[in-house]
Structure 1
Amino acid sequence: MIRSRTTLRWAFPGEIVYRACLRRNYRVLAIETSCDDTCVAVIDRKSRRDPPVLLAHLKETLDSENQGGIIPTKAHLHHQIKVAPLVQQVLRQTKSEHNIDLVCVTRGPGMPGSLSGGLDFAKGLAVAWDKPLVGVHHMLGHLLVPRMRTNGSAPQYPFISLLVSGGHTIFVHSKSISEHEILCDTIDIAIGDSLDKCAREIGIKGNMIAKNMEAFINENLEEARSQAVDMSLPNPLRNQNRRMNVQAFSFAPFLTAVRTAMAKNKVEISAREARSMAYQIQEALFEHLITKLKLVISLRPDVFECTKHLVCSGGVGANRRLQQRLRDELSFQFQEFYYPEPSLCTDNAVMIGWAGIEIYEAMGIKTELGVTPIKKWPLSDLLNVPGWIHA
């Protein structure tokens, strides 16, 4: 049991709540099932003064290489099959069968069938163990995970996050754990989705196609930069005369451009040509991304004059070329760049556990047991959903 005292703290607009101030160490079970990865972790919160210790993290990814994408019904079945055995394994591995004090799970956004696989199981554990449940926003997990290593001391609020994955591409200003402003969002598909689809068009295969394309490029950078094929890729939402510059991302046009370039080739492309195309695709998408980041920075001096820390997280955030370009081209604005280690950039349960810890400790709230998954959940509306109750 977690022993606690209570102190007053503002959390919801116009409302005073009580915060649980933990007196001793406690353990957290975290579950993430928002898409095609079933992830489970156990985190030991030994002290409020020191970073938590990750005891174990397990992941099982749905193999969708032959389907050309994730099929929601198969992802739902995958989680139904995997989540219970993974939880049992991680509890036994860490000798935590009777030592879990807090259950954290992804509540949204994501595919409802996938989310329900983890959320329903987590609710059952919270009931069986009579422990508090925290339903975590998936993108909040990506945003906060760099703070785990510093026990929440860095990056300090306010800070900026670039969250780039297969499902999201958002530029976020965070004033606190519950106050987030979306500065720029995509009007169509996410950058990770575009990278995957473009890579598939030029013949790259695998379960993590964008990551495989990055590795393919890096196998021979000189060949990749050879311009063996001229693709004429766009930089969308930017008027040629620069009289109109839209504050948004758009990654769907790249797929059309790649298909057009491929249609010009009457025969199968060579490895050299494929590597050249892969390099141009990756560079063009990153160029569009950074172009829009610079635009937002120029249009919002009220935000950026006080924010000097940038977090880049999400699956695409693990791309080394993107990390390099962000440092090279945005160092005029940011003094510190935070990139989670690659295993914490892709979907994982560790980030869900840490975000749950921050919510539970800093805000003194938990999730009631009758909640359901949230398919679309804007980060700016973190608290404006039913189900939050005092811890």
Structure 2
Amino acid sequence: MRVLGIETSCDETAIAIYDTTRGLLANQIHSQTDVHACYGGVVPELAARDHVRKLPLLFRAALIEANLRRDQINAIGYTAGPGLQGALMTGAAFAKGLARALQCPALGVHHLEGHVLAPLLEEERPQFPFLAVLVSGGHTQLIAVKALGDYALLGESIDDAVGEAFDKSAKLMGLGYPGGAALSQLAQRGRRDAIRFPRPMIDRPGLDFSFSGLKTAVALAIAAGKDHADIAASFEQAVIDTLAIKIGRALEQTGYRHVVLAGGVAANRPLRLRLKEMMDERGGQVFYPPPILCTDNAAMIALVAALRLERGERDAAAGFEVRPRWPLVSLSHLSSR
């Protein structure tokens, strides 16, 4: 089965083609960074308009990359949420219209489920159950992944997500938008022990996070005239230490030996190295997608759609529904279908 995936939840327009026998055949991604950079953040209306312009172009490019005709597509998966409502609607409308034209089934996919299961696209794959560490601009969550569709939220950020804390701290240092990657680059030139930033909430029970205080600590360090490279390195180390401590607690709580690191911040090399060291010491293993599949992409959407379509799941023939807010754990009831 060849599944076309469509991702338009925020500021990346993406189309991919996944074959259940041959694997990923095409992966086209267009970033809207230049569209939103002058505003210092994503403008929802501009994001939706750019999706409309780019979707047909990326669809044609994906067919060329996969060396397929459009009538060789067997099904379509699209991001139905969570995300920006207007952006989600552009992808859903394109998917449903195309499905009608091709007379093939379509299925709305949960964006976060895509991130969590993205490592299944690799040759070396995690085995269920595993602990998913979802770290992105919008989410910081620890999730017990028991099976496809069977998820339990163990902990999450009560304020800023990790990626959001990176971007806001980068903005305070004048590193532009989006600043998370720029901050990590700057951190390579700094001393990780130069400033003792707090490791938030590690002295409390539970697995929740809080990163807004770190942003305040960065602002104070800047005001005190500290070296920006040292600030970046010390900030990054504080985030990594905090994540590692909470992940360790989650592993002890669940008894799992496999960890999946997913989301945009999963591309952070020091974080990857720290988790690999942790899992090596524990006799376990950490998995993460290649950097191109850490940020928003349609390959993960096509994969999840294929897995669920094989179980017989389908959208209603007429209309579509997008969900800007959609808890991942609400999918758990589907695991028994």
Fraction of identical pairs, as percent? 34
Alignment of 1:1-391 (within 5 A): 26-45=1-20, 47=21, 52-62=22-32, 63=34, 64-93=36-65, 94-150=67-123, 154-207=125-178, 209-218=179-188, 220=189, 224-225=190-191, 230=195, 232-238=196-202, 242=203, 244-265=204-225, 273-298=227-252, 300=253, 303-304=254-255, 307-333=256-282, 335-361=284-310, 363-368=311-316, 369-382=318-331
CA contact (8 A) 2:167 2:177 kept: no
Instruction: Give the structure with the larger helix fraction.
Output: 2
Write the distance in 1 (CA, Å) between the matches of 2:192 and 2:44: 39
Q: CA deviation at 1:88?
A: 2.6
TM-score with structure 1 setting the length: 0.79
- Change in Cα spacing, 1:226 to 1:31, as seen in structure 2 (3 Å) is closer
Larger RCO (CA under 8 A, 6+ residues apart): 2
TM-score, normalised relative to structure 2: 0.91
Query: How many pairs are equivalent?
Result: 332
Q: CA deviation at 1:124?
A: 0.7
Does the 8 Å CA contact 1:309/1:334 hold for their aligned counterparts? no
Contact 2:8–2:87, Cα closer than 8 Å, also in 1:
yes
Q: Give the Å deviation of 1:206.
A: 4.4
Q: Matched residues in 1 for 2:164 and 2:192: separation? A: 26
**3-state secondary structure, aligned to 1:98:** helix
Distance 2:42 2:107 in 1: 27
Distance 1:179 1:333 in 2: 25
Q: Report if the CA contact (8 A) 1:160-1:310 is conserved.
A: yes
- 1:6 maps to none
Deviation at 1:215, TM superposition (A): 2.3
Deviations 1:295-351 (A, max 9, x none): 3334x2xx21xx211111111001110001112234444511111111111111111
Q: What stretches of structure 1 of length at least 5 have no aligned partner?
A: 1-25
How far is the alpha carbon of 1:100 from its aligned partner? 0.7
Q: Deviations over 1:174-229 (max 9, x none)?
A: 1110110111111112101111111111121244x2122222333x3xxx1176x6
5+ long unaligned stretches in structure 2: none
**Matches of 2:308 and 2:68, distance apart in 1:** 25
Structure 1 residue 139: deviation in Å? 1.0
Q: 168-177 vs 76-85, which deviates more?
A: 76-85
- CA-CA distance at 1:54 after TM superposition: 2.2
